[in-house]
Amino acid sequence: MSAAPPRGLSVAVATPMHEDGSLDLEGLARHVRRLIDGGVDQLVPCGTTGESATMDPEEQRRVIATCVEVAEGKVPIFAGAGTNSTARSRKLARAAREEGVDGLLLVTPYYNKPSQAGLDRHFREVIEAGVDLPVILYNVPGRTGVNLEPDTVFRLAELELAVAVKEASANLEQIMTIIRGRPDGFLVLSGDDSMALPIIAMGGDGVISVAANEVPDRMRALVHAGLAGRMEEARRHHYELLPLMQANFVESNPVPVKAALHLMGQMGPHVRGPLSPLSDRSLERVRKTLLDIGIIEVDT
């Protein structure tokens, strides 16, 4: 089994695409190098921000292989392999292992709306499929229509390969319940940038971040200050970056962050349907935010 995910800053890697919707793997390689140079602790490709829902299995393989090749073992890679099909998730998990990842991110199945028993069974069947990789459970009810409840997390955390949960429910009481009741060594990671510092303050272990695509160094400073107990410093970084965290969700992720990265000269703004380009009003908000917090120096 590969190492467990580190505490700290993980980045939900955005996937550059050409205007026709095809993968821009050269752009991805440049982006990954920039993220590593910016000090991220872990890469998480093929998640929500990476637009995995509109990738076919071979495209996911190519994205993961590019990340693994560029990273050269400098940081762990936990690749998204979750779908709303248990059988398909097992196949993606095996493919990710073959490409050399360190672990997996498994989202709760979307659309199907399984019961807690169904969620438990789904995760167990993927985890026990012989892939032998550590797994981060991913709870994002706003995207999937189902909530992974604390008692289900606790049952799954008894599995050796279930090492963390990415919590994006925005339910602080639920997250505190998980932190209070989790077994030793099981990590609780924020799935929302704006909740990263509150969750760390409550005993959480870091964040899988969208904003780290834009400002990996500044997000690292926030997260590591919080984990080290330097709360005044962490709060300063948090409030400086809060407008960016909010602007990144002015429309559906990853449309705003890719628009921001385009304004920064880092990648094209292109997303796959059914997502559509950022509206003019939202683009102006993103542009103003980047100017106001010093990410771009002139109006682009």
- Domain boundary assignment for the chain: 8-228
pLDDT in the model for residue 146: 96
pLDDT in the model for residue 300: 52
Long-range contacts of residues 234-238, Cβ cutoff 8 Å, at least 24 apart: 234/197, 234/200, 235/197, 238/196, 238/197
pLDDT in the model for residue 130: 84
- Across 67-97, b (16+ Cβ under 10 Å) vs e yields bbebbeeebbbbbbbbbbebeebbebbebbb
pLDDT in the model for residue 2: 58
> In whole angstroms, what is the distance from residue 242 CA to residue 293 CA?
10
Q: Which amino acid does the sequence have at 220?
A: R
> In whole angstroms, what is the distance from residue 29 CA to residue 26 CA?
5
The helix/strand/coil state of 49 is coil
User: Please, is 16 exposed, middle or buried when counting C-beta atoms within 10 Å of its C-beta (0-12, 13-18, 19+)?
Assistant: buried
Strand order in the sheet with 8-12: 42-44, 8-12, 206-209, 187-190, 162-167, 135-139, 103-107, 78-80
The torsion defined by the Cα of 137, 139, 144 and 148, in degrees rounded to 10, comes to: 90
Q: Is 8-228 in CATH node 3.20.20.70?
A: yes
Yes or no: say if 101 and 61 are a contact pair by the CB < 8 Å rule. Answer: no
Between the alpha carbon of residue 179 and those of residues 36, 57, 118, 174, the distances in Å are 29, 34, 23, 9
Element (H, E) at 80: strand 78-80
Give all strands (DSSP E) within 187-255, no chain letters: 187-190, 206-209
Active site (catalytic) residues? 138, 166
The torsion defined by the Cα of 85, 51, 123 and 188, in degrees rounded to 10, comes to: -160
* pLDDT tens, per residue, the chain with 300 residues: 556 778 999 999 999 999 999 999 999 999 999 999 999 999 999 999 999 999 999 999 999 999 999 999 999 999 999 999 999 999 999 999 999 999 999 999 999 999 999 999 999 999 998 889 999 999 999 999 999 999 999 999 999 999 999 999 999 999 999 999 999 999 999 999 999 999 999 999 999 999 999 999 999 999 999 999 999 999 999 999 999 999 999 999 999 999 999 999 999 999 999 999 999 999 999 999 999 999 998 765
Token code pair at residue 134: 């550590």
